[in-house]
Chain A
Amino acid sequence: MGKALVGNHIRKLRFNRNEMTQQQLADKVGVTRQTIVALEKGNYSPSLELAFRIALAFNLPLEEVFFYGENSEEG
Chain B
Amino acid sequence: MTYQEKKSIVSLISSLLIFAAYCLYRYPQYPEGALDSKEMVHYWGSFVLVLTLVSIAAHIVISIIFNIVFRMTTGEKEPAFADELDKRIDLLAFRNSFAVFVVGFLLAMGSLVIDRPLKVMFIVLIVSGFLSDVTGSLSRLYHYRRGV
On A, residues with C-beta under 8 Å from B are 1, 3-4, 30-35, 37-38, 41-44, 46-47, 50
Our pick among A30, A31, A44, A47 for the contact of B147 (Cβ within 8 Å) is A44
Q: Is the interface of B mostly helix, strand, loop or mixed?
A: helix
State the interface size on chain B (CB cutoff 8 A): 15
User: Contacting chain A: which of B13-21, B24-32, B79-87?
Assistant: B79-87
Q: Which A residues touch B146, using CB under 8 A?
A: 1, 43
Q: Is the interface of A mostly helix, strand, loop or mixed?
A: loop
Instruction: State in angstroms the CA–CA spacing of A47 and B85 once bound together.
Output: 9
Instruction: State in angstroms the CA–CA spacing of A34 and B81 once bound together.
Output: 12
Q: In the complex the two chains form, is A31's CB within 8 Å of B2's CB?
A: no
Chain B 133-146 near chain A by CB (<8 Å), digits 1 or 0: 00000000011101
Instruction: State in angstroms the CA–CA spacing of A34 and B7 once bound together.
Output: 13
Q: In the complex the two chains form, is B2's CB within 8 Å of A37's CB?
A: yes
**Chain B minimum-CB-distance residue to A47:** B84
Instruction: State in angstroms the CA–CA spacing of A41 and B146 once bound together.
Output: 10
Chain B 50-91 near chain A by CB (<8 Å), digits 1 or 0: 000000000000000000000000000001010111100000
